Chains A and B, each alone.
Chain A
């Protein structure tokens, strides 16, 4: 039985575990499904403890494009603000507090990871390996950012971890953007903006930390994620046909 099924409560597994395991055999789970199952297991623990006793649970958190869209908007906004504020602070001769910078980048990385996982549903069937890479690489980056936070007393080491965390988030985002653009279900323009922002970031870093390029990269990259988020939410709000569904 899948590890994901084992996350559900025993009483729940006894009733639904086998058939859920078969569903996962029929359709190997992508990042969207994994996120959905994690939320489903949490929901089952919170509300289905009284299974068989006619519990009156009413709430729950289904994974949806809306959650992913909101995460993309929040992550994109946060990314753009980090770059603009850090640059303004740098130009004014103030150094951004390393602790604050690491925490904000960690938060942004986590939010963008949620966004990538949630928005992966459409792309996964066609490009499973690339989509898993686009989520797993930034996940490694999140570990690096946590390491950066913990390694602050060591000085420069924390800085290297922070840069690795930033780069992995960007690399994962680029893979995700390319696959999204190829699949063409979500906004191609927003996907291209993410990839373009990433390229400008690398050029800016190579050009001796060019302030202008780094600000542009932050705005374009963050704007791309915001665009994808808006597109996902719009899609989630689209009217649901109430007639017979296609077979």
Chain B
């Protein structure tokens, strides 16, 4: 993977991005991530998808597990994860800006 980029996670790319954004708020355990993502997007994230994406993110060093609290293991964003997320969101933001600009030109 290129430094500063989220690796290609195939169909888990979007859940992974949502998890990383959720963890920008601070460490969270699985259930807290699910409810946060659902509240933020209005769309459900199932537990199978959550852990498939978490396993991939952990494998690539973008998130790291912390010591369990009451059997609930929190995860936090690593420095690599934060850099990769910033890169991804900046690219998305630039892409959205171009799209909105073109739409404005089209309407005008």
Q: Which residues of B contact A40 (CB under 8 A)?
A: 46-49, 51-52
Secondary structure of the B contact surface, majority rule: helix
B62-81 Cβ-contact flags toward A at 8 Å (1 or 0):
00000010011100000000
Interface residue? A38 (CB, 8 A): yes
In the complex the two chains form, is B12's CB within 8 Å of A26's CB? no
B33-50 Cβ-contact flags toward A at 8 Å (1 or 0):
010110111111011111
Q: Which residues of B contact A38 (CB under 8 A)?
A: 48
Interface residue? B2 (CB, 8 A): no
Interface residue? A60 (CB, 8 A): yes
Chain B nearest CB: distance from A16 CB in Å? 5
Q: Which residues of A contact B98 (CB under 8 A)?
A: none
In the complex the two chains form, is B36's CB within 8 Å of A22's CB? no
Chain B nearest CB: distance from A68 CB in Å? 10
Q: Which residues of B contact A27 (CB under 8 A)?
A: 31, 34, 47
Provided the pairs A22-B30, A23-B34, A27-B34 are in contact, do residues A245 and B40 lie with their beta carbons within 8 angstroms?
yes
In the complex the two chains form, is A238's CB within 8 Å of B42's CB? yes
In the complex the two chains form, is B21's CB within 8 Å of A244's CB? yes
Closest residue of A by beta carbon distance from B35:
A27
In the complex the two chains form, is A51's CB within 8 Å of B52's CB? no
Chain A nearest CB: distance from B58 CB in Å? 9
- Which of B37, B52, B73, B93 is close to A245, meaning CB atoms less than 8 Å apart? B37
In the complex the two chains form, is B10's CB within 8 Å of A19's CB? no
In the complex the two chains form, is B36's CB within 8 Å of A60's CB? no
- Which of B14, B41, B46, B59 is close to A241, meaning CB atoms less than 8 Å apart? B41
Chain A nearest CB: distance from B43 CB in Å? 7
Interface residue? A92 (CB, 8 A): no
Closest residue of B by beta carbon distance from A63:
B46
Closest residue of B by beta carbon distance from A48:
B55
Most buried by A among B11, B29, B40, B49: B49
Q: Which residues of B contact A57 (CB under 8 A)?
A: 56
C-alpha spacing A138/B94, complex, angstroms: 47
In the complex the two chains form, is A242's CB within 8 Å of B92's CB? yes
Interface residue? A62 (CB, 8 A): yes
- Which of B8, B12, B36, B73 is close to A62, meaning CB atoms less than 8 Å apart? B12
Provided the pairs A18-B71, A62-B12, A235-B43 are in contact, do residues A36 and B36 lie with their beta carbons within 8 angstroms?
no
In the complex the two chains form, is B72's CB within 8 Å of A19's CB? yes
Interface residue? A246 (CB, 8 A): yes
In the complex the two chains form, is B71's CB within 8 Å of A247's CB? no
- By Cβ-Cβ distance, the 5 closest A-B pairs, closest first, are A40-B48, A36-B46, A245-B40, A121-B44, A62-B49
17 contacts between A and B (CB under 8 A): A12-B55, A16-B51, A16-B55, A18-B71, A19-B73, A24-B47, A33-B48, A36-B48, A54-B59, A58-B9, A60-B12, A61-B11, A62-B11, A240-B17, A244-B40, A245-B18, A245-B21
Binding site for A on B (CB under 8 A): 8-12, 14-15, 17-18, 21-22, 24-25, 29-31, 34, 36-37, 39-44, 46-56, 59, 68, 71-73, 89, 92-93
Add 8 more A-B contacts to A60-B10, A62-B48 (CB < 8 A).
A26-B31, A36-B47, A41-B48, A60-B12, A65-B44, A121-B44, A245-B37, A245-B40
